[in-house]
């Protein structure tokens, strides 16, 4: 890989916000798929290298991928702090969040919110773009789309902008900001909602929900996986998942199954909810069913393939992951507003049900674990019909199709360089010069207290970023 020239490198910038774990998970899923696509391209080219070099064929590009939490790293007070209220709100007052979602889901409110937020993030976006110099920008958060399109227009560069929608049915108005080059949606219902906005039908692509490529890989047989996780092979396995934050009525579901004395064994994934993990570990010995308790995990495909049924909140990522593993779904909770449509998706396709109370949940579980259950067989068949485990590869291919072709310069390079600098404001040009100088200096100099003070002084005088902050370390910076 090192033999290939950096002149063929392309930069892909993903814009996210860590409001829940779903947006980052989607960005990671697509970037992992692009990495695998790139590996296949490089291997195919190297295998035919003598012939391709003789014909003057250029090597396939390599990809530098950046995933940026824009609100955390490039917005100003109070916007940065306001976004952090998402997690506590859905946990402690979900009805309030649902009301805000529905009231804001219209053009007038979205445009008013955009006008209020733009002064608090616009300069940060310009700084981000001129620092990273992406060849394509991909948004995986609805609140970023309108302002990003404005910022790209301010630069005057033809940088492709793509929106990847991560809500299955309840797609907020802010997802479809006019002016994007492509809109990638997960379902036919989302596509129809896009078309109802009278936007260009050629720009919408129904490619599925991005889930990690590891869901396409073969795993060990169910019996072997159960031995690995300390489970018996003679009892049905129920997997309980509450999302990255461990929400969604997990504790209540565990208690209901235990009190019903169902002939099952449990695997419970509490995610980042350390309090719930400790609570379940303390009470595990008093449960009337065997249970294994996990915190945040990186082997969810194995856990899903070891299970017979999944109980989860109505997060779109977990739903699509479960479908790719042919699991029937019992929804134990949902976030009002954005996850309401996910319930319709599960119920309408007959791959699961909503069970918000203990009686409904245990009755549904009892029917599914019954030997020879026709309901289980029907839902497994339906899951196979609508699952799209390779969706991230399709989305990755679509994103790559917007990059400059072999031998073509980036919009940031060569002949386009001088017109771009001319159109930029003085403070943005200054930010670029400082960053380039910083990259050329030895680390012993750039880390000195004097240079840091000078950098902060320059940032303030040029108003390139408010408040003055050092450039953050990137979440992902890969040369693939």
Domains of the chain: 6-211+392-425 (3.40.50.2000), 219-388 (3.40.50.2000)
**Nearest one of 196, 203, 171, 201 to 186, comparing CA atoms:** 171
As to burial, measured by CB atoms within 10 angstroms (0-12 exposed, 13-18 middle, 19+ buried), residue 181 is middle
**Calculated CA dihedral for residues 173, 244, 392, 303, nearest 10 degrees:** -140
Lookup result for tokens 């029907």: 378
Angle between helices 358-369 and 374-386 (to 10 degrees): 90
Residue 393 and residue 272: Cα distance in Å, rounded?
A: 28
What is the pLDDT, as a whole number, of residue 243?
Answer: 59
CA dist 102 and 120 (Å) reads 24
Q: What is the pTM of this model?
A: 0.83
Tell me the CA distances in angstroms from 445 to 351, 413, 437, 452, 468, one per residue in order.
60, 28, 11, 9, 20
What phi and psi, each to the nearest 5 degrees, are found at residue 471?
A: -60, 130
Local structure of 58: helix, strand or coil: coil
- Give residue 228's pLDDT: 94
Q: What is the pLDDT of residue 46?
A: 85
- Which residue blocks in 387-448 are alpha helix, DSSP H? 391-400, 417-423, 426-440, 443-446
Q: What is the reported pLDDT for 196?
A: 96
Q: Please tell me the distance from the alpha carbon of residue 33 to that of residue 393, in angstroms, as a whole number.
A: 5
Phi, psi values for residue 239, rounded to 5°: -100, 125
- Name the E strands within 155-222: 161-164, 182-185, 204-206
Encode the chain (480 residues) as per-residue pLDDT tens digits.
Answer: 334 445 578 999 999 998 766 899 999 999 999 999 999 998 988 888 766 565 667 788 999 999 999 999 999 999 988 888 887 888 788 899 899 999 999 999 999 999 999 999 999 999 999 999 999 999 999 999 999 999 999 999 999 999 999 999 999 999 999 999 999 999 999 999 999 999 999 999 999 999 999 999 989 999 999 999 999 999 999 999 975 444 557 889 999 999 999 999 999 999 888 888 999 999 999 999 999 999 989 999 999 999 999 999 999 999 999 999 999 999 998 989 989 999 999 999 999 999 999 999 999 999 999 999 999 999 999 999 999 999 999 999 999 999 998 878 888 875 444 444 434 555 555 555 445 445 445 555 445 554 454 444 444 344 433 443 444 445 544 545
């Amino acid at each position: 890989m090192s033999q290939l020239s950096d002149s063929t490198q392309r930069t892909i910038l993903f814009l996210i916000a860590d409001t829940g774990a779903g947006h980052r998970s989607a960005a990671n899923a697509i970037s992992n798929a692009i990495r695998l696509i790139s590996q296949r391209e490089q291997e195919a080219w190297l295998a035919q290298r003598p012939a391709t070099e003789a014909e003057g064929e250029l090597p396939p590009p390599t990809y530098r991928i950046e995933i940026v939490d824009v609100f955390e790293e490039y917005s100003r007070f109070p916007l940065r702090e306001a976004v952090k209220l998402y997690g506590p709100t859905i946990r402690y007052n979900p009805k309030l969040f649902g009301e805000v979602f529905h009231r804001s889901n219209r053009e007038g409110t979205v445009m008013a919110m955009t006008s209020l937020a733009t002064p608090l993030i616009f300069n940060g976006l310009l700084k981000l773009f001129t620092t990273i110099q992406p060849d394509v920008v991909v948004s995986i958060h609805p609140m970023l789309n309108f302002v990003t399109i404005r910022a790209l227009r301010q630069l005057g560069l033809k940088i492709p902008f793509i929106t990847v929608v991560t809500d299955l049915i309840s797609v907020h108005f802010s997802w479809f900001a006019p002016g994007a080059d492509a809109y990638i949606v997960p379902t036919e219902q989302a596509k129809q909602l896009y078309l109802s906005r009278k936007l260009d039908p050629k720009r919408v692509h129904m490619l599925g929900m991005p889930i990690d490529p590891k869901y396409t890989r073969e795993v060990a047989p169910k019996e072997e996986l159960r031995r690995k996780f300390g489970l018996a092979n003679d009892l049905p396995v129920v997997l309980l998942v509450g999302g990255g934050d461990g929400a969604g009525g997990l504790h209540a579901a565990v208690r209901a199954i235990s009190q019903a004395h169902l002939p099952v064994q449990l695997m419970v994934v509490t995610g980042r909810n350390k309090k719930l993990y400790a609570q379940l570990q303390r009470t595990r010995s008093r449960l009337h069913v065997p249970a294994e308790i996990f915190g945040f995990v990186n082997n969810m495909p194995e856990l899903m393939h070891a299970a017979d049924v999944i109980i989860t909140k109505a997060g779109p990522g977990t739903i699509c992951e479960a479908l790719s593993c042919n699991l029937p779904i019992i929804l134990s909770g949902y976030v009002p507003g954005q996850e309401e449509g996910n319930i319709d998706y599960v119920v309408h396709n007959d791959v699961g049900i909503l069970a918000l109370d203990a009686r409904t949940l245990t009755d549904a579980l009892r029917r599914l674990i019954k030997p020879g259950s026709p309901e289980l067989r029907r839902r497994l068949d339906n899951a196979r019909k609508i699952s799209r485990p390779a969706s991230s590869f399709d989305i990755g291919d679509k994103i790559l199709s917007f990059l400059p072709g072999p031998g073509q310069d980036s919009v940031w390079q060569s002949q386009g360089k001088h017109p771009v600098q001319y159109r930029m404001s003085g403070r943005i040009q200054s930010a670029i010069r400082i960053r380039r100088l910083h990259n050329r200096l030895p680390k012993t100099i750039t880390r000195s207290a004097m240079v840091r003070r000078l950098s902060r002084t320059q940032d303030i005088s040029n108003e390139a970023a408010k408040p003055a902050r050092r450039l953050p370390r990137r979440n992902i910076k890969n040369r693939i």
